[in-house]
Amino acid sequence: MDLKASLQLPDGKSVDLPVLVGTENEHAVDVRTLRDQTGYITFDDGFANTGSCISDISFIDGEKGILRHRGYRIEDLAGESIFLETAYLIIYGELPTSKQLSKFRGRIASSASVHEGMRLFFQGFPHTSHPMAILSAMLNSLGCYYPEMTTHNRAKDLEHFDWGAALLISKVRTLAAMSYRAKRGLPFVYPRWDLRYAANFLHMMFSEPYHDYNPKPEVTDALDLILLLHADHEQNCSTSTVRMVASSGANLFASVSAGVSALWGPLHGGANAAVIEMLEEIAASGDDGRKAVEAAKKGERRLMGFGHRVYKNYDPRARILGEAAKRVLTSMGISDPLLGIAMHLEEVALKDEYFVSRKLYPNVDFYSGIILRAIGIPVDMFPVMFAIGRMPGWIANWREVATNPKMKIHRPRQVYNGKTERDYVAIEKRGE
Ligand code: CMC
């Protein structure tokens, strides 16, 4: 049955608009013909009520705290899959067979090094550079080495998509490790063929010419889990940015580079670093979390790692990471006071009327930083870790835009609230 929504407008006009229903019974009023029919547009600052696309990739029910990729529950993927397998699922829509997975892994392993010319780029950045600035610049520059994938002819760019996807997933990790080492004046470490994804990253970060870094399996597993849990998350700020850039016909490299910039902000991917800074500040002040909660209630600060535009329940990724944080620290024999403060802060906030009534729960960033810190990843690299994890989601969303024959350039409208037309006489008067 075709559903319709009727809209009564102030000038007496009324309009019937179609209603779209998603596979999870989500309903959306389709306003695509609204302006043509009535002259009106919709207004939705921050897009909280706007479906910007029809997508098959990820599903979130924020009220129930559900996240699924291509139909698979995040809890099941976290328990039974690995980052690269989930990446394949997100990009291609199905879990890979063992043959498909080994081909995908082979492509990723063989793409790990970057062109020697790119090493020189790193020399130009001052040591004060933020690694997210470097990463965004490097991902866009990377496209220069693949002219066959950056033709801006969609059909031609798509012919090389499988390689483009694999090499971006591979090289984002190499470029991230290089940005860490360049900033510290350390020599670059070449990737190794024999190491798995997370282990190879840690090798490029922490090995030295005279000493191979050999992390415990618990450490590489925890890093793999963090990457998996960040792999996609529906139409968040950075993914929407990737789709926006892709909608102009821009290539995959340019689009994901823009995604990194969008992710950088403290309200998005920068929140994991902000959480650690907040916990350190709480620890230094001797607070057990109560003062921070009170300050948040007065609007003097935000509790970083709390709240989410979509989740009005516990973010399922936060639950998994909270447990993982305890496990990893125990296995590494680390006792981090910040974990205790985080757990206490959570306990206080979840009982407080302010947080309860606003449905503010810990999000994915609340515990991820504690694990990253235990692994030895410096705080300024936290959003970079998010970017490495989110790469499959950006790639999958770019592909959805690029392969949609009905795709339109994303070009919203606005409600203009500035000066109206002024006449020439008024300008002349001012000149007197
Ligand atoms: N601490 C204290 N109060 C908060 C917080 C917070 N973290 N988040 C929201 N609120 C309050 C806010 O002040 C407002 O109160 P009131 O109704 O009295 O004005 C109410 O809750 C609604 O807030 P909002 O800003 O309208 O909500 P939003 O959906 O626009 O923002 C958010 C979502 C994630 C930006 C926000 O919750 C926030 O700033 N959180 C802290 C930053 C953070 O952890 N970001 C990571 C998000 S998860 C990773 C990702 O997907 O990027």
Q: 327 CB under 6 A from ligand 1? A: no
Q: Is the separation of the CB atoms in 75 and 314 below 8 Å? A: no
365 noted as active-site residue: yes
From the CA of 266, how far away is ligand 1's center (Å)?
Answer: 11
Question: Quick one: pLDDT band at residue 336, thresholds 50, 70, 90?
Answer: confident
- Give me the residues paired with residue 17 across strands: 5
Residues 6+ apart with CB under 8 A from 45: none
Q: Does the CB atom of residue 306 touch ligand 1 within 6 A?
A: yes
Structurally, what CATH architecture does the domain formed by 4-67 represent? Single Sheet (2.20)
CATH superfamily of 271-375: Cytochrome P450-Terp, domain 2 (1.10.230.10)
Any atom of ligand 1 within 6 Å of the Cβ of 304: yes
- For the cut 60, the answer to whether the pLDDT of residue 98 exceeds it is yes
Among 362, 169, 377, which Cα is nearest to 273's? 377
**What backbone phi and psi angles, to 5 degrees, belong to 94?**
-135, 150
User: Residues 332-342: what's their mean pLDDT?
Assistant: 87
Question: Cα Rg for the chain, rounded, in angstroms?
Answer: 24
Which protein residue has the closest C-alpha to ligand 1 atom 17?
358
Beta bridge partners of 18: 4
Distances (CA, A) of 324 to 1, 221, 330, 368: 46, 10, 10, 9
Return the residue whose CA atom lies nearest to atom 39 of ligand 1.
267
| Residue 290 predicted with pLDDT over 90 | no
- How far apart CA 273 and CA 265 sit, in angstroms, is 10
- Predicted confidence at residue 372, as pLDDT, reads 94
- Atom from ligand 1 closest to the CA of residue 233: 51
Q: What distance in Å separates the CA atoms of residue 329 and residue 339, rounded to the nearest whole number?
A: 9
Kindly state the DSSP code that residue 312 receives in the 8-state scheme.
Answer: S
Lowest mean pLDDT among 260-264, 289-293, 427-431: 427-431
410: annotated active-site residue: no
> Which of 306, 352, 368 is the best mutation target for the ligand 1 pocket, counting ligand atoms within 8 Å of the beta carbon and taking the most?
306
Minimum CA distance residue for ligand 1 atom 28: 309
- Tokens 């029910």 — which residue? 61
Cα(232) to centroid(ligand 1), Å: 20
Query: How far is Cα 352 from Cα 345, in angstroms, rounded to an integer?
Result: 11
360 CB near ligand 1 (under 6 Å): yes
Cβ count near 175 (within 10 Å)? 27
pLDDT in tens, 379-398: 999 999 999 999 999 999 99
Distances in whole angstroms, Cα of residue 321 to Cα of each of 89, 180, 186, 314, 339: 21, 24, 31, 12, 12
- Verify whether ligand 1 is closer than 6 Å to residue 233 (CB atom): yes
Cβ 271 under 6 angstroms from ligand 1: yes
What are the structure tokens assigned to 143, written together?
Answer: 């496209």
What's the mean per-residue pLDDT of the chain?
Answer: 93
Atom of ligand 1 nearest to the CA of 309: 29
Report the C-alpha dihedral over residues 108, 109, 114, 116, rounded to 10 degrees.
Answer: -150
Atom 25 in ligand 1: which residue has the minimum CA distance? Answer: 309
**From ligand 1's centre to the CA of 259, what distance in Å?**
21
Evaluated on CA atoms 122, 123, 124, 126, the torsion sign reads positive
Q: pLDDT band at 188, cuts 50/70/90? A: very high
Domain ranges of the chain: 4-67, 74-269+387-402, 271-375
Q: Name the token pair of 78.
A: 């976290």
Strand partners, 5: 17
**Domain 74-269+387-402 maps to which CATH number in 3.30.1380.10, 1.10.580.10, 1.10.490.10, 1.10.760.10?**
1.10.580.10
pLDDT at 220: 95
**Cβ of residue 308 lying under 6 Å from some atom of ligand 1:** yes
Tokens 């995908």 sit on residue: 104
pLDDT at 102: 97
Tell me how far the alpha carbon of residue 27 lies from the centroid of ligand 1, in angstroms. 25
Give the closest residue to 62 by CA, choosing from 296, 274, 363, 418. 363
Contact present, 246 and 398 (Cβ < 8 Å): yes
Given ligand 1 and candidates 308, 390, 394, which is best to mutate, with the most ligand atoms within 8 Å of its CB?
Answer: 308
Distance CA 274, CA 70 (A): 31
Interstrand relation of 58-61 and 27-29 (parallel, antiparallel or unpaired): unpaired
Q: Which band of pLDDT confidence, cut at 50, 70 and 90, is reported for residue 432?
A: low
Please report how many Cα atoms fall inside a 13 Å half-sphere around the Cα of residue 22, on the Cβ side: 15
Q: Give the per-residue pLDDT at 117.
A: 94
- Res 11: pLDDT: 85
Q: Which of 162, 365, 380, 423 is catalytic?
A: 365
Q: Which of 308, 344, 352, 423 is catalytic?
A: 308
Q: How distant, in Å, are the alpha carbons of 71, 203, 334 from that of 59? A: 8, 34, 36
pLDDT category of residue 431 using cuts at 50, 70 and 90: low
Alpha helix positions (H), 60-160: 74-80, 83-92, 98-110, 116-123, 131-142, 154-159
pTM score, two decimals? 0.93
Nearest to 402 by CA among 261, 227, 254, 260: 254
How much distance in Å is there from the Cα of 362 to the middle of ligand 1?
Answer: 11
Most informative mutation of 363, 367, 390 for ligand 1 (most atoms within 8 A of CB): 363
CATH topology identical between 4-67 and 271-375: no
362 lines ligand 1 (CB under 6 A): no
Tell me if 140 CB under 6 Å of ligand 1.
Answer: no
> Of 118-122, 336-340, 426-430, where does mean pLDDT reach its minimum?
426-430
Q: Report the pLDDT averaged over residues 253-261.
A: 98
CB-based contacts of 148-151 (< 8 A; 24+ apart in sequence): 149/251, 149/252, 149/253, 150/251, 150/252, 150/253, 150/254, 151/251
Question: What gap in Å lies between CA 376 and CA 281, rounded to an integer?
Answer: 19
Closest residue by CA, ligand 1 atom 1: 302
pLDDT of residue 289: 81
